[in-house]
A = this chain, B = another copy of it.
Amino acid sequence: MSLRLPAPARREQILDVSVQVFAHRGFHSTSMNDVAEAAGVTKPVLYQHFDSKQDLYMALLEEAGARLRNAVHKAVSEATTGKQQTEFGYKAYFRWVAQDHDAFLLLFGSRANRDEESTIAIRRITAEAAHAIAPLIAADIEGEHQEMLAHGLVGLAEGVSRHLVEKGVQFDPEVLGQQIADLAWAGLRAVHRNG
């Protein structure tokens, strides 16, 4: 049934549809039949494009993670001072969240169910984000400690975003990014002085 599509287009469509389904219902609560139905096809079609449920899921995580990474990386690289890097970074992050709701929920939403493999993937994405932030933290704080604070700052953005997205609140990523960047920057300087 349902409109024959050329293979690459079908593959794209499956990715689009399944990111929505997985984001809202979680990995384990979503069966391959659910995905297939949402895509308007039957199960075997999915297996023509992906080796397994896990494989499909990992492809989604990978794509979403890459988009996040690129957005933040590009934004940060356009800044000069540390303070500006913080601003640009957070703004890019919230811009990503705002325009890619489902990807955010998939990676960081409350429903994000995780087995061994996807846990590692998501930890890697978080760790990369933190690692990108770490240099912004005063150099006189030692490495492991820097890394720790960086994870905190990532969690800060995550907490805010999860609240807003799951509550369905609209927001301006520029304004929000500015505020959270201010918070982070001022906060870091305080830790620096006392640490």
Contact = CB atoms under 8 A, between A and B. Distances in A.
Copies of this protein in the complex = 2
A162 B169 contact: no
Given A152-B160, A155-B155, A190-B186, A119 B110 contact: yes
A119 B110 CA distance: 6
Contact of A183 (B112, B130, B158, B187): B187
Interface string A137-157: 000000010011101111111
A113 B182 CA distance: 33
A160 B150 CA distance: 8
A48 to B, nearest CB: 27
Nearest to A108: B155
A177 interface: no
Given A148-B160, A155-B159, A163-B151, A185 B180 contact: no
A113 B113 contact: yes
Contacts of A10: none
A66 interface: no
Interface of A: 26, 28-29, 110-116, 119, 122-123, 130, 144, 147-149, 151-160, 162-164, 166, 169, 178-180, 182-191, 194-195
Q: Which 9 A-B pairs have the closest CB atoms?
A: A155-B159, A186-B190, A187-B187, A183-B187, A151-B163, A152-B160, A155-B155, A113-B113, A156-B156
